[in-house]
Structure formats: structure tokens, C-alpha cells
Amino acid sequence: MAALNGFQKAPNILLTGTPGVGKTTLGKELAERTGLTYISVSDLAKEGELYEGYDEEYDCPVLDEDRVIDELEDRMSTGGMIVDYHGCDFFPERWFQIVFVLRTDNTVLYERLESRGYTDKKLQDNVQCEIFQTLYEEALESYKQEIVYQLPSNTPEDLERNVEQITLWTQQWIKDNN
């Protein structure tokens, strides 16, 4: 699905939200059903060592956002990408036709992060991030309000509904724009 005359044949979709809300699961399932290309920014950064340091407090590498942008620029211009990352304010606004912020009930999120072995501080900070809608607010500040949507992501039924909804949206976008 390459770009023709500067126009994308398929949309770019951003999946964002607090760690543990189900972005990766949704992204991979969407890629399988739509034929779009799934990109985990975390995996991309790991493979290309796109880091500018290490955060001892959170026990994780610090993303080099400029290098990530450089790495993705060509792919994003062709369209048909599903990008998964817990932050969204550093991506160029022009990259995405739609942004989905996944939201998860605090109890469910707590259990998911605890099962990943998150430290108490990291766990508490991420649950607070979800409580205060931090990533939703970030998305609204970074993109046009009319392309930002919140989706519940608590159960397998939510996952199925989200996949179906986004797949239908994608099919309609392709039909309307080609």
C-alpha cells in the first residue's frame, strides 16, 4: 500500500495509552485483519538502540524521540501504518488520520502491570496516569480533537469490539480516499 502522487492509499493509525492497556494486542490483531503494518515504537527503539540514556528511577531506557521520528518518517509517508506507543506528543501531527487512546479500569490495569513485575513506584505512577487521563489529554493537545477517540480496553469483548470498529473505519477510509 504505497503512496501515489503524494497521497496515501491507507491511513496511519496511532494506538496510545498508559502501559498495560492493551495497545500491542490490539495493534497486532488489527494488522492481521486489515493488512496494515504494525509498528511497536518500543521494539523499534530496542532494535535500533534509539535511546538517549537510562532512567534509573523507572528502570528503563529513555527514548531518543528525534531518532525515532527519523527512523519512521519514510514509512509514515507511505501510509498503512499502525503505530503503538504510550506517548504521542512528539509524533508529527500530519502522520496520523486517527488516534485511539485505550483506557483500562484501574483494578484491571494494576493487575496487568503487577504481573509484568513493575516496581511499586512505576506501578503507582502508571495507574495515576490512567486515573488522571494523562495520555488522553496529551492526545487532545497534540492532534485535532475530531480524530482522537477513547476506547475501553478491559475485556476480550472490548478487544474484539475495538478491532471490529477500527477495521470498519479503516475500510471506509480506504474507500473514501482512493
* pLDDT at site 52: 97
In the predicted structure, residue 6 carries a pLDDT above the cut 70: no
In the predicted structure, residue 143 carries a pLDDT above the cut 70: yes
Does the annotation place 155 within a ligand binding site?
no
Does the annotation place 53 within a ligand binding site?
no
Does the annotation place 80 within a ligand binding site?
no
In the predicted structure, residue 4 carries a pLDDT above the cut 50: no
* pLDDT at site 5: 37
Tell me the percentage of the chain whose pLDDT exceeds 70: 96
Report d(CA 117, CA 123) in Å as an integer.
Answer: 9
SS3 content of the chain, % helix, strand, coil (to 5): 50, 20, 30
* DSSP reduced 3-state for 86: coil
Does the annotation place 35 within a ligand binding site?
no
* pLDDT at site 7: 60
Report d(CA 147, CA 71) in Å as an integer.
Answer: 24
Convert the pLDDT of each residue in 73-114 to its tens digit: 999 999 999 999 999 999 999 999 999 999 999 999 999 999
In the predicted structure, residue 2 carries a pLDDT above the cut 50: no
Does the annotation place 23 within a ligand binding site?
yes
- Residues sharing a CB contact under 8 Å with residue 160, sequence separation 6 or more, in sequence order: none
- Residue 72: which of 30, 31, 39 has the closest Cα? 39
Cα–Cα separations (whole angstroms), residue 160 to 9, 19, 22, 86: 25, 20, 12, 21
Report d(CA 174, CA 178) in Å as an integer.
Answer: 6
Confidence band of 8 (pLDDT split at 50, 70, 90)? confident
Q: What is the mean pLDDT of the chain?
A: 94
- Stretch 122-144: mean pLDDT: 96
Does the annotation place 20 within a ligand binding site?
yes
Confidence band of 120 (pLDDT split at 50, 70, 90)? very high
In the predicted structure, residue 27 carries a pLDDT above the cut 60: yes
* pLDDT at site 58: 86
